Amino acid sequence: MKEGRFEHLVKILTIGESAVGKSCLIQRFTKNEFSPHHTSTIAIDFKMKVIEINNVRLKMQIWDTAGQERFNTLTAGFFKGSDGIVLTYSVTDEKSFQCVNKWMDQVQKLAPVDVKVILIGNKADLDAERKVSREEGEAMALKYGIKFYETSAKSGENVQELFLDIGNQIFEKIEQNPPAWMTASKGPNMSSMMTKPKLSCCGGAPRET
């Protein structure tokens, strides 16, 4: 990355049932790797990846939550202050698809009102085991007014696209209410940006329950 570009830290949360492929999607995006073995995420973890849009570096802090029910309370504490949420189900797992409604309920109760949410039907490579059609996924996304992708962490299909899409949506939100450093001809250096508080437009208060 070239020096002198402005940098903005954004918080992205991945949520969804256990074993739908949240960790694998993050691993594919950040390292371009895939592991066929399921190691359930314990508690929470995060990975970083920087993307660049219009000369602005978006430093994506991607939180990998645990889908197992015993961690739901812990996960709930991480919705606050999120800029983007990647809600994932597996196209091979009908229950994980039904649970999208439960997760959206959590998003609406706990996440900032202007959070950008994207719905993902993962494991699209497993055609023979498919239980949820693309049309059903599209209808679910339409119901909540959010974007939808089918992905495969295994083949890499649509993985970059989904994270770049949510990055773009967050960037557009920042642009609508640009901070001084974004409009100034010369901004502070990147490391000093990282120590500044987050923008109010991206870290709004949680919704009333």
- Name the residues that contact ligand GTP, by CB under 6 A: 18-24, 35-38, 40-41, 66-68, 122-123, 125-126, 152-154
Least distance (Å) from ligand GTP to the CB of residue 144?
20
C-beta closer to Mg ion: residue 87 or 202: 87
Strand partners, 50: 59
Q: Which two tokens stand for residue 112?
A: 């900032």
Return the half-sphere exposure (C-beta side, CA atoms, 13 A cut-off) of residue 187: 23
Q: Which stretch binds Mg ion (CB under 5 A): 17-25, 86-94, 102-110, 163-171?
A: 17-25
Of 42, 101, 109, 100, residue with least CA distance to 82: 109
* Cβ atoms of 81 and 11 closer than 8 Å: yes
Grouping H, G, I as helix, E, B as strand and the rest as coil, residue 172 is: helix
Least distance (Å) from ligand GTP to the CB of residue 198?
26
C-beta closer to ligand GTP: residue 38 or 143: 38
C-beta closer to Mg ion: residue 41 or 75: 41
Radius of gyration of the chain (CA): 17
Where along the sequence are the contacts to Mg ion (CB under 5 A)?
22-23, 41
